[in-house]
């Protein structure tokens, strides 16, 4: 009887352990802007883009640079954003967040038919505009010329090593240029530095 109880307890414990194991293997969703996201020291991550875009937008809106535009809301053209790091990623991870956030402020609208080196983001809209312009003899969207352009660069500094400790920094640099004057009316820089141990996960 005692042995039977022991056997049952052991079976229950083993089942609980195996069931628990099954649950963890399936993975889990985490809030991509939450505190449970992993910090990877030697790579740029989505959290870094969230931090950089947040700081840049805070700085740009606080500067009042957009308020000084004669046209409200001002039209923003996206210029060249250079990835000058040793990693491969799409710079839209930064730029799109900034665009959406600025659009929410109501102070800026982004043109998708006028782009850097004539590359429109929305080719279809550009084609429709061109067709209307041809047929009607005037630009369908005459105000799409940007009042401001956003350009910038993402830099990765040389990795610093002290013993097993590693340090990695990413520098986000952006400039908002007023097209009519050619002057950068706002400039922002945000540095994100991460430390980690070789072979480990940083925090």
Contact indicator for 37, 30 with CB cutoff of 8 Å: yes
Q: Judged by CB under 8 A, which of 21, 27, 35, 70 binds other proteins?
A: 35
* Min CB(39)–other proteins separation in Å: 8
Residues linked to residue 193 through DSSP beta bridges, in sequence order: 169
Judged by beta carbon, residue 173 or residue 186, the one nearer other proteins is 186
Judged by beta carbon, residue 18 or residue 203, the one nearer other proteins is 203
Number of residues that bind other proteins (CB under 8 A): 26
Contacts (Cβ under 8 Å, ≥6 apart) of 122: 112, 113
Q: Judged by CB under 8 A, which of 2, 27, 28, 31 binds other proteins?
A: 31
For the four alpha carbons of 58, 60, 64 and 70, in that order, the dihedral sign comes to negative
- DSSP state for residue 67 in the 8-state scheme: G
Find where tokens 């209307």 sit: 132
* Min CB(53)–other proteins separation in Å: 6
For the four alpha carbons of 60, 100, 73 and 113, in that order, the dihedral sign comes to positive
Restricted to residues 41-70, the positions that interact with other proteins (CB under 8 A) are 50-51, 53-54, 57-58, 61-64, 66-67
* Min CB(98)–other proteins separation in Å: 9
Contact indicator for 188, 173 with CB cutoff of 8 Å: yes
Annotate each residue in 92-111 with x if it binds other proteins (CB under 8 A) or - if it does not, as one string.
Answer: ----xx--xx--xxxx----
Tokens linked to 196: 């980690």
Contacts (Cβ under 8 Å, ≥6 apart) of 97: 49, 50, 53
* Min CB(30)–other proteins separation in Å: 11
- Interface residues with other proteins (CB under 8 A)? 31-35, 39, 50-51, 53-54, 57-58, 61-64, 66-67, 96-97, 100-101, 104-107
């Amino acid at each position: 009887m005692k042995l039977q109880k022991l056997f049952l307890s052991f079976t229950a414990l083993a089942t609980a352990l195996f069931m628990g194991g099954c649950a963890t293997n399936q993975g889990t969703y985490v809030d991509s802007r939450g505190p449970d996201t992993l910090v990877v020291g030697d790579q740029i991550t989505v959290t870094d883009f969230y931090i950089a875009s947040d700081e840049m937008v805070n700085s740009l809106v606080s500067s009042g640079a957009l308020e000084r535009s004669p046209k409200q809301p001002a039209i923003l053209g996206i210029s060249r954003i250079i990835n000058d790091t040793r990693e491969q990623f799409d710079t839209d991870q930064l730029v799109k967040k900034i665009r959406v956030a600025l659009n929410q402020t109501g102070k800026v609208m982004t043109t998708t038919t006028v782009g850097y080196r004539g590359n429109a983001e929305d080719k279809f809209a550009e084609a429709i505009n061109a067709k209307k312009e041809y047929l009607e003899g005037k630009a369908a969207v005459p105000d799409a010329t940007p009042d401001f352009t956003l350009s910038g660069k993402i830099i990765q500094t040389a990795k610093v090593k002290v013993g097993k400790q590693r340090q990695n920094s990413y520098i986000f640099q952006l400039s908002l240029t007023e097209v009519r004057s050619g002057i950068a009316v706002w400039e922002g820089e945000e540095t994100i530095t991460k430390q980690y141990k070789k072979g480990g996960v940083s925090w």
